[in-house]
Amino acid sequence: MLELKNIAKVVGAETHIHPTSLTLERGSLNVLLGPTLSGKTSLMRLMAGLDKPTAGTLHMDGKDVTGVRVQDRSVAMVYQQFINYPAMTVYENIASPMRIAGKDKATVDREVRKAAELMKLTPYLDRTPLNLSGGQQQRTAIARAIVKNAGLILLDEPLANLDYKLREELREELPKLFAASGSIFVYATTEPAEALMLGGKTATMSLGRVSQFGPTIDVYRRPVDLVSARTFADPPLNTIALTKSGSTLRRGEATVLPLPAHLAGIADGPVTIAFQPHHLALRPAFDGAPALPARVIVSEIAGSESFIHVESEGARWVMLEHGIHDLDPDLQTQVFVDTRHLMAFDANGLATGGHAARAA
């Protein structure tokens, strides 16, 4: 078990990591989800012992390892930019941590070939990294981390440079590997969809703070604050400032939305309403779904999906529609809000009223 107890990192006048406490269990997959510069890599470097915290302590299996050198810890780390030994073959790159650990030849060969098969590297074992594609080099680095069988394995956006098909294959295989290893895995990503696919637990991060940590699907469906909700939204979360008055959500004198049952506990007054792009549509999602007037700003066609940016009720939103929808800019239309999945946040950005479970 890895315990972070009020870990913080300050460099000069800048706080890279605000005081953070987390407990990561053995055999667990833990995702750090956040945009670039949210603090994911900084937190992983503190976990690994590559950087020393300004405050707080780290404990591994009950032992304080805050001041222990990284080379004296059971840690493996894979960065987004692949790092391999250029003069070694792929086989020797993967085998290197086991040779350093004094593993016998038969064990080394078995584990190298097992990892190579998982990473689709078997045909390239006799090549040197400079004779591989970027994706193959990254897979070599991942394979080397896997065979090290470290107690803590840190993966910093490891699939970002791989092609789409291989990313999808590895996203499916890696959770199985994580579950069977007994190691603590920490996986950093900027992609909410990747976090959902990997499962495990997720810590949402923003500006050096962990805003929420828990089972991935729970963090996605029930964000505790607006920061977590926005972190777990791609395309960006849609929001609108409204006033709750009785059984309606209003803007000025106009009734904008009927208050859904799951938000009945909200007190009258200002509230920020939020919803995901796939909960806004050109057609009603259910009988009685409210319609709002909207003006099309731009349509973005992405293969079998379209991202349609609109302006409605003084707010700019984006909706995700399946299929090709090439709508003219400035087109006056209407959009339908699936109120069953609305989220509400108070003036401090904290969740209020009880969120309904959100559909994936």
Maximum mean pLDDT: which of 21-25, 68-72, 101-105, 119-123: 21-25
Please report the pLDDT score of residue 59 as a whole number: 95
Is the residue at 360 inside a domain?
no
- The pTM for the full model equals 0.86
Report the phi/psi class of residue 278: left, alpha or beta, with left for phi > 0 and alpha for psi in -120 to 50. Answer: alpha
Q: What is the mean pLDDT of residues 344-354?
A: 89
Please report the pLDDT score of residue 354 as a whole number: 63
- For strands 152-156 and 75-78, give the pairing: parallel
Does 356 have pLDDT greater than 90?
no
Beta bridge partners of 239: 274
Average pLDDT, the chain: 89
Q: What is the mean pLDDT of residues 179-196?
A: 87
Q: Same domain, yes or no, for 26 and 163?
A: yes
Is the residue at 355 inside a domain?
no
Q: Same domain, yes or no, for 8 and 118?
A: yes
Q: Same domain, yes or no, for 67 and 94?
A: yes
Q: Same domain, yes or no, for 256 and 172?
A: no
Is the residue at 56 inside a domain?
yes
Instruction: Give per-residue pLDDT as tens, 311-325.
Output: 987 899 999 999 888
Does 225 have pLDDT greater than 90?
yes
Classify residue 188 as exposed, middle or buried by CB count within 10 Å of its CB (0-12, 13-18, 19+): buried
Instruction: Give per-residue pLDDT as tens, 112-154.
Output: 998 898 788 999 999 998 898 877 888 888 888 888 878 898 9
DSSP state letter for 342: -
Q: How confident is the model at residue 174 (pLDDT cuts 50, 70, 90)?
A: confident
Please report the pLDDT score of residue 83 as a whole number: 78
The domain boundary residue, chosen from 230, 265, 287: 230
Is the residue at 357 inside a domain?
no
The domain boundary residue, chosen from 230, 248, 265: 230
Q: Same domain, yes or no, for 138 and 258?
A: no
Distance, in Å, from the CA atom of 130 to the CA atom of 356, rounded to the nearest integer, reads 51
CATH code: domain of residue 287: 2.40.50.140
Q: What is the mean pLDDT of residues 292-310?
A: 92
Of 335, 350, 337, which Cα lies nearest the Cα of 260?
337
Q: What is the mean pLDDT of residues 89-100?
A: 92
Does 360 have pLDDT greater than 60?
no
Name 184's Cβ contacts closer than 8 Å, sequence gap at least 6: 1, 2, 24, 25, 26, 27, 28, 30, 151, 152, 153
The domain boundary residue, chosen from 186, 213, 230: 230
C-alpha neighbours within 13 Å on the C-beta side of residue 215: 4
CATH code: domain of residue 59: 3.40.50.300
Is the residue at 285 inside a domain?
yes
Residue written as token pair 């400032």: 241
Instruction: Give per-residue pLDDT as tens, 259-274.
Output: 998 998 898 999 999 9
What is the extent of the structural domain holding 247? 235-345
Q: Domain count of the chain? A: 2
Q: The tokens of 18 are what?
A: 């605000």
Instruction: Give per-residue pLDDT as tens, 28-64.
Output: 899 999 999 999 999 999 999 999 999 999 999 999 9
Please report the pLDDT score of residue 359 as a whole number: 39
Q: Same domain, yes or no, for 33 and 110?
A: yes
Q: Same domain, yes or no, for 77 and 220?
A: yes
Q: Same domain, yes or no, for 279 and 185?
A: no
Kindly compute the dihedral angle of the four CA atoms of residues 161, 165, 168, 172, in this order, to the nearest 10 degrees: -120
Instruction: Give per-residue pLDDT as tens, 2-22.
Output: 999 999 999 999 999 999 999
Distance, in Å, from the CA atom of 165 to the CA atom of 143, rounded to the nearest integer, reads 18
Q: How confident is the model at residue 196 (pLDDT cuts 50, 70, 90)?
A: very high
Please report the pLDDT score of residue 358 as a whole number: 42
Does 349 have pLDDT greater than 90?
yes
Report cis status (omega within 30 of 0) of the bond before 236: no
Please report the pLDDT score of residue 192 as a whole number: 94
Please report the pLDDT score of residue 120 as a whole number: 85
User: Do 299 and 327 meet the contact criterion of CB atoms below 8 Å apart?
Assistant: yes
Is the residue at 338 inside a domain?
yes
